[in-house]
Amino acid sequence: MSVDPYTALSGPARLHSVADIAARSAARYPHKLAIVDGEVSLSFAELDRLIGTLAAWMQQAGVHKGDRVLLFSHNCWQFPVAVLAAARIGAIAAPVNFMLGPQELLYILQLSQPALAIVEDGLRETFDAALANYPGELAHKLLINLHGLPCSHGWQAFEPLVQGQHRAPLPVAVGAEEPIRMMFTSGTESLPKGVLLSSHALLSQYVSCVVSGGMQVSDREVHAFPLYHCAQLDNFLMTDIYLGATSYLLRRPDPAAILATIERERISNLFCPPTAWIALLNCPAFATADLSSLKKVYYGASAMPRTVIETLRQKLPQIQFWQFYGQTEMASLATVLCPEDHEAYPGSVGVPALNVTTAVVDENDCPVDVGVVGEIVHRSPHLTLGYYADLDKTAAAFRNGWFHSGDLGYFGESGHLYVVDRIKDIVKTGGENVSTKEVEEVIYDFDGVREAAVFALPHPQWIEIVAAAVVAHDGHTLDTEALLRHCKAKLAGFKAPRFVAVVPVLPKNASGKVLKRELRAAFQEAAGQ
């Protein structure tokens, strides 16, 4: 195929990649504080140097453009260094949920087939247990030192590689539409899908976050929620690096630590899912902490109870709220409910973000009228390239020129979007997506279970919890405590049911489909107790 002469001449100078964002911020603000992680403070110039040194080591180790780099760690300064170093050589960074067990992690290994794994020392045993059953080859393993655990045979320490003599990687041309990230999501399936994101998608999303989210270079932000999530990683941390704002990393979302950091560092911005805002309000330190610096607060993953917003406003009258709605395939922003709209449009998820077109369609993908419920679909440069090694699922998601979100909703007269249900049968507990099918399959492995249905129940702290109704085989008496132990042994903790009811039959419609709405209605009060 012939190359346009203008593109041949100007193309190399016009390349715009996620790999560039730290270098560009370093050129603008070399001595400005970029990342603070405990005792480690990095300027933008220092951050850029670490990224370049790790990228050069990756090249020397034989990690090539398009190779997958698995990242299995809690939040730390090493995390963004690894993500951006991979991007700099055209490798695909693949952050993994640190709550997964060996069996779940094994599937991720089999799907992604990484050339390099970067693992926190506290998670090495889990990773080694998964690797013991992995039939492929993993050429390189780097260990992040967060707990001072020894670097055992077969592993190499991360920190000496990047803190030694600086080296620059050989330049790699990475096109705007080439994949540089793989995020894992389960959706409605029992097995995760690898969501491929390009520089074009991520950079477009960063711009939408900055503009629609009122972000500024002077922001000082806490990042306490897992960086394996698109929300914390790309709505906030990478957007801050792109913009030149200052980021404070916490290992985990401990309410007391978040409040102490806000007070000590005069934090201006904070993202938390609704469950965490509830935990902050209930933390004893909330009443006495000086939170006067906090101005911009963000939430997402699920709806924020109105009483929580009202309580926060009473206690912190200076704050403004933004709700971000989206999903991993949108990298992850789709719509934004701005501060001025929270009073006028309660229950809405806002309007499409700067670089997003959103519609609501019927089963034939035809737009529906205002107020009519249909499937929410999007067009946007934010969007995923598709699902790794799965053209069929990609084709199903991108029908008729739209990305199908799997959520049901409607537009109001004002153009604000309202989400009313989910087609994808998932439970959102504490901001984590749980596939009900995956949990059901584990329950069916328990002796004596004839039928099982997993569904969501509302919860004051976690917004939703995973619940199950089970039917026993004739002649069996099900021990629900033993069933819960079985689930916890087979699943990550957040996926295991918190409520189990033994029922004589499951409610079904004429076609045999289980009516989970009836189960939610029947057990809502019991679960609350």
pLDDT tens for residues 159-177? 999 988 888 999 998 999 9
**CATH number given to 15-31+42-175:** 3.40.50.980
**15-31+42-175 against 426-528: fold identical:** no
Q: Which of 353, 350, 109 is nearest to 234 (CA)?
A: 353
The domain defined by 426-528 carries CATH number 3.40.50.800:
no
Residue 432, pLDDT > 90, answer no
Residue 59, pLDDT > 50, answer yes
- How would residue 305 be classed by pLDDT, with cut points 50, 70 and 90? confident
Residue 147, pLDDT > 50, answer yes
The answer to whether the beta carbons of residues 72 and 99 sit under 8 Å apart is no
Residue 36, pLDDT > 70, answer yes
- The tokens for 154 are 């077969």
- How would residue 440 be classed by pLDDT, with cut points 50, 70 and 90? confident
The mean per-residue pLDDT over the stretch 402-410 comes to 93
Domain segments of the chain as ranges: 15-31+42-175, 426-528
Q: Which long-range contacts link 389-392 to residues 24+ away (Cβ below 8 Å)? A: 389/111, 389/194, 390/193, 390/194
Task: Please report the pLDDT score of residue 188 as a whole number.
Answer: 37
Q: What is the pLDDT of residues 270-301, one digit of tens each?
A: 999 887 898 899 899 999 999 999 999 999 87
Residue 510, pLDDT > 80, answer no
Task: Please report the pLDDT score of residue 511 as a whole number.
Answer: 43
What is the average pLDDT value for the chain, to the nearest integer?
Answer: 93
Residue 187, pLDDT > 80, answer no
| Bridge pairing between strands 386-387 and 193-198 | antiparallel
Q: Could you identify the residue written with the tokens 């991979």?
A: 86
- Out of 425-429, 463-467, 500-504, least confident range: 425-429
Residue 514, pLDDT > 90, answer no
- How would residue 491 be classed by pLDDT, with cut points 50, 70 and 90? very high
Residue 64, pLDDT > 70, answer yes
Cα angle: 115, vertex 79, 150; to 5 degrees: 75
Between helix 436-444 and helix 480-490 the angle, nearest 10°, is: 120
Q: What percent of the chain has pLDDT over 70?
A: 96
Task: Please report the pLDDT score of residue 450 as a whole number.
Answer: 83
Task: Please report the pLDDT score of residue 529 as a whole number.
Answer: 60
Task: Please report the pLDDT score of residue 140 as a whole number.
Answer: 97
Residue 416 identity: H
Distance CA 146, CA 79 (A): 12
Q: What is the pLDDT of residues 87-130, one digit of tens each?
A: 999 999 999 999 899 999 999 999 999 999 999 999 999 999 99
Q: Could you identify the residue written with the tokens 């399959």?
A: 441
- Out of 78-82, 231-235, 470-474, 495-499, least confident range: 470-474
Residue 527, pLDDT > 90, answer no
Residue 447, pLDDT > 70, answer yes
Q: Higher confidence at residue 325 or residue 424?
A: 325
Task: Please report the pLDDT score of residue 460 as a whole number.
Answer: 85
Residue 435, pLDDT > 80, answer no
How many Cα neighbours within 13 Å face the side chain of 498?
A: 22
SS (H, E, C) 352-414: ECCCCEEEEECCCCCECCCCCCEEEEEECCCCCCEECCCHHHHHHHCHHHCEEEEEEEEECCC
Residue 296 identity: K
Q: Could you identify the residue written with the tokens 């996926």?
A: 495
pTM of the predicted structure, to 2 decimals: 0.85
